[in-house]
Structure 1
Amino acid sequence: MNKIKEFVKKYKVPLIVGTFVLLLAVAYFAGLHRANTKVADQQPTQVSQELLDNVNALQNKLNISEQNANLLRTALDKVQAGKTQPAANYYVTAPTVERAATIVEKQIAANDPTLPPAALEKTDRTVVTPITKDTAGQVLPVDQQKVDVYKINLRKDHRIKAGVTVVDSTAYETIGYEQSRVEALAHFSGTNFKGGSVMYNVAEW
């Protein structure tokens, strides 16, 4: 145990730098993997009207965090209550609203130029939902059924930062990693590690 303490004491700075670099490497490769799956995530996903009320279902179906699923559920409530108006309306000929939803999903995936620009906007997620019931849960007449398209940009939970910190007129290169409310920073002069900072958001709005 004493040998371990002596080792840590002797190599404290290299261990801190190595740990921080390792964390940044993990974050980088995680970000790279995420970038590779981003295109797949951006493809339109058909979600039934019933699942729009289920946060867990939204989280799993859209591969998003619980926080984003809750934010999405709140936004969808406003849409369904008529507090948010659609950016565009267009018509699709189909025998059923479910079939129309499938057609719309394929059109968006293919970037069909006949669609309104709002439907083709690049966002983190696109949800296509056949609407067959009113807000009270009653089945709508066929001529009132429709397909809703939700274009969704998610709150980003991971951030890698780079910048400069100035202390007593000395400038240090700074790299950092932020997740949710916690941010860790490492300060360098060239390749020499000069110190670190950990910050926590005590208020957000």
Structure 2
Amino acid sequence: MWYSILPKIKKYWKPIIYITIILVVAIVCFVVIKNKEDVKTEPKVITNYVVRYAPVDDFAKSINVSPNTAEDIRHEIINTEKRSPDAQFVVVAPNLEKAAAATEKAIKENNSNLPKAALEKTDRTIVTPNDTKQAVDVYKINLAKEHKVKVGVTYIDEKMYPTVAYQSGRIEGMVQLEGSKVKGTTILYTVKQW
């Protein structure tokens, strides 16, 4: 009985594979995005010394990230400083440490009195007391660029095919084209990043 169904399945195996791949990628992207939305990173008050001069391991421990991520965050803060912090404002408080703590609390509570830049959703929020300007600096840092669109060329059997790819997190899907026809697909998973 199943022998009579087999030729029909062979005829449609490519579209079945394409649809299955698209469904798997869609489900994985949905799960990744859903989990990403559930993760909320809290702002952290850190002194200027720790942000700029402390050993990377100490800085990493103070914000609960890996040393590599701490190095990236430090790099982003230093680059931000060349133009200015994402938000800098004066808070009425007896001293800068209490002003920074009040700013951290206001960011956690999404207080509308803060500048829009201070409330922007990002991967990390670093609040530092600025002794030289007697103000509180807020650095908004996005390290994870979750969505990437890529283009390239695939060479198979002495033929070149334009390739379009989409990456979300660690999962990447590619489609090889010949004109407007799909000649192949590829799904990749990033095992290690650095």
Q: TM-score, normalised by structure 2?
A: 0.58
SS in 1 for 2:89: coil
Long gaps (5+) in structure 1: 1-23, 133-139, 182-205
Name the residue aligned to 1:90: 89
SS in 2 for 1:128: strand
Q: TM-score, normalised by structure 1?
A: 0.55
Please state if 1:164 is matched with 2:163.
no
Measured on the aligned residues, the alpha-carbon RMSD in Å equals: 3.5
Q: Following the alignment from structure 2 to structure 1, what is the Cα–Cα distance between the partners of residues 96 and 186?
A: 54
Q: Following the alignment from structure 2 to structure 1, what is the Cα–Cα distance between the partners of residues 66 and 32?
A: 15
> In the alignment, which of 136, 150, 162 is matched to residue 139 of structure 2?
150
The 5 Å alignment of 1:22-171 reads: 35=36, 38-39=39-40, 41=41, 43-52=42-51, 53=53, 54-79=55-80, 83-132=82-131, 144-155=133-144, 158-166=169-177, 171=183
Deviations 1:7-53 (A, max 9, x none): xxxxxxxxxxxxxxxxx9xxx6x9589637621x2x11111222112
Whether the aligned pair in 2 keeps the contact of 1:46 and 1:128 (CA below 8 Å) is yes
Q: Following the alignment from structure 2 to structure 1, what is the Cα–Cα distance between the partners of residues 142 and 35?
A: 15
Residue type at the aligned position of 1:111: N
Identity %: 35
Name the residue aligned to 1:17: none
Long gaps (5+) in structure 2: 1-23, 147-168
Whether the aligned pair in 2 keeps the contact of 1:68 and 1:155 (CA below 8 Å) is no
Residue type at the aligned position of 2:193: S
Q: Following the alignment from structure 2 to structure 1, what is the Cα–Cα distance between the partners of residues 129 and 144?
A: 26
Q: How many residues align?
A: 143
Distance 1:108 1:47, change over 3 A: same
Q: Following the alignment from structure 1 to structure 2, what is the Cα–Cα distance between the partners of residues 129 and 87?
A: 12
Residue type at the aligned position of 1:96: N
- 1:115 Cα shift? 0.9
Q: Following the alignment from structure 2 to structure 1, what is the Cα–Cα distance between the partners of residues 37 and 182?
A: 39
Whether the aligned pair in 1 keeps the contact of 2:172 and 2:188 (CA below 8 Å) is yes
Q: Following the alignment from structure 1 to structure 2, what is the Cα–Cα distance between the partners of residues 113 and 33?
A: 26
- 1:176 Cα shift? 1.1
> In the alignment, which of 169, 172, 187 is matched to residue 175 of structure 1?
187
